[in-house]
Amino acid sequence: MSRLVIVSNRVPSLRERNQPAGGLAVALKDAVAAHETLWFGWSGRTSAGAAGPPQIAHSRRLTLATVDIPTELFRGYYEGFSNGTLWPLLHWRTGLAEFSRTHFEAYMAVNEQFADALAPLLRPGDLVWVHDYHLIPLGALLRARVERVRLGFFLHIPFPPAPLFETLPQSKRLLEAFGAYQLVGTQTKADARHLSQALRDVGVETQVEGFPIGIDTAGFAAAAEKAATGPEVERLRSSLGGRALILGVDRLDYSKGLPERLRGYAALLRRFPQHRNHVTFLQVAPVSRGEIGRYRALRRELDELAGRINGENAEFDWTPVRYMTRSVARNTLAGFHRIARVGLVTPLRDGMNLVAKEFVAAQDAHNPGALVLSQFAGAAEELDAAILVNPHDPDEIAEAVDSALSMPREERIARWRSMYEIVKRGTARVWAAEFLERLEQTG
C-alpha cells in the first residue's frame, strides 16, 4: 500500500491522534489509521528568519512534519491572500476581496518554502493529498522538485463561476497550478463544474470531481444520545422552561449568514406571534479571525441585532435570543442538537456545512427535529428533504421556521429518515476512501 502524505495549512498534534479536534483531523482519522502516513504543514508558529528544516514527531505509523512561517511572510500569506482574497472570492463575495500583489507574493513564497521542506521527505510512489485554498500552488512546486508521486488536491470551500474567479488578477497562474494535480476534488458537483470550466478556459486539463465530505455519523449519534442526559444539556433543557429550541452553530464568519438569520428570527416573532414566548433561539458562534477588521465589524453587528431583538420582544421571564461567542465542547453541542426542535443552518455560501449533517445524525429517531437549510450550502445538494431557504430573504427564513415548528411528527420522521440514510452512507471514512482510491487509479 502506498504511503499517504497529507499536506494542510495546520497539522493536528500527536495528542489528537485518537481524539482529533479539528474538522480535517476528524475527517481523515480513518485514512490515517489505514496507511503509513506523513502529515506535513504549518507548526502554528512564526520565525524571525528562514523557517529551517521541518520539526519531526513520530507515533506508530504516523509522522508529523511541521515548519514555521517567517514572520515577514505570515500576514501576507494567511491574513492577506488566503483569507483576505481567496476566502471571500471563493465564497462569491468579490466586494470583500482585497487584491494585493504583495500579499500574493507572500502566498507564493510560503508555498515555495513548504515545497522546499516537503520535497526531501517524499518517496517514489507516495500518494500526496494537498488540502485547501492556502496551498493551491503547492502541487506544481512539488512536481518541479520530485518525480513519481501521485498528487491530489481537495478544495473544502466553494468554487465560484469562472467569470467571477477571473476577477482575481492572478487567476490564470492559480488555475494553471491546478494542472499539476492528477485529481482535484470539490465538495459538490456544482463546484466541480465551475472549476472545470475555469480550467478549460485557460487550457488546463485535469480531472475534477465532486466528493461530498461526511462525518462520523455513528460516533456523533452516540455522543448526542449520551450527552442528552448529561449535566450541560440538562441545564439547557431546564432553562428553556418547556419552550422549543431553535439552534444555530457556526464560526463567526460573514459567509455563514448570521445577520440574515437573526433578521429571519425577528421576522418570525413579528409575523407569527403564536411562537412568542414559546421558542428560544440559541446561536453558538465562536469568534473566528477576530484580529481582522471585517470580522470585528460583524461581531458588533450581531451584538446589536441580538440586543435589538431581545429589547423589542423579551418578557421578564423570556429571552428570545441567546447568543454565545465562545466555544462549546463538541460532545455538548451534539446533545444540544439532539434536543433542538429546529436546526437553523443558513449560510450565504458554504462548501458543504457539516453542522447540517451533525444535526441530522444527532436526532432522536422517534421524535426528530426539523432542519432549515440554506439552498446555498453544499449540503443542500444531498439533504433535499430539509426545508430549503434562500437566506437573503428574512421572510422566507421566518416562514420556514414556522413550518418546522408546526410540522407534524410523522412528516418530521419521514424527512429525517431520508436525510439520515444519506448521512449514514456518506461518512468521512467513505469520503476519504473514495478520493484516495480514485487518486491511486490515476496515471
Q: In sequence order, what DSSP letters do the residues of 87-113 get, joined into one string?
A: HHHHTT-GGG----HHHHHHHHHHHHH
What's the pLDDT at 105? Answer: 98
Fold of 4-214+428-441: Rossmann fold (3.40.50)
**Active-site residues: which are they?**
156, 350
pLDDT in tens, the chain (443 residues): 789 999 999 998 776 555 555 568 878 888 888 889 999 999 999 998 776 789 999 988 899 999 999 999 999 999 999 999 999 999 999 999 999 999 999 999 999 999 999 999 999 999 999 999 999 999 999 999 999 999 999 999 999 999 999 999 999 999 999 999 999 999 999 999 999 999 999 999 999 999 999 999 999 999 999 999 999 999 999 999 999 999 999 999 999 999 999 999 999 999 999 999 999 999 999 987 766 778 889 999 999 999 999 999 999 999 999 999 999 999 999 999 999 999 999 999 999 999 999 999 999 999 999 999 999 999 999 999 999 999 999 999 999 999 999 999 999 999 999 999 999 999 999 999 999 999 999 86
Residue 125 gets the label, from left (phi > 0), alpha (psi -120 to 50) or beta, of: left
Under DSSP, is residue 443 helix (H, G, I), strand (E, B) or coil? coil
What's the pLDDT at 22? Answer: 59
- DSSP string over 278-301: TEEEEEE--B-STTSHHHHHHHHH
What's the pLDDT at 430? Answer: 95
Residue in the structure block whose three cell numbers are 492577506:
80
Whether 82 and 136 have beta carbons less than 8 Å apart is answered as no
- Closest by Cα among 355, 342, 221 to 286: 355
Residue 289 gets the label, from left (phi > 0), alpha (psi -120 to 50) or beta, of: left
User: Residue 157 corresponds to which amino acid?
Assistant: I
Q: What backbone torsions phi and psi does residue 290 show, to the nearest 5 degrees?
A: -65, -15
Residue extent(s) of CATH 3.40.50.2000 domains in the chain:
4-214+428-441, 217-425
CATH number (3.10.50.40, 2.120.10.70, 3.40.50.2300, 3.40.50.2000) of 217-425 reads: 3.40.50.2000
Residue in the structure block whose three cell numbers are 448526542:
224
What's the pLDDT at 49? Answer: 77
pTM, two decimals, is 0.95
What's the pLDDT at 21? Answer: 52
What's the pLDDT at 298? Answer: 94
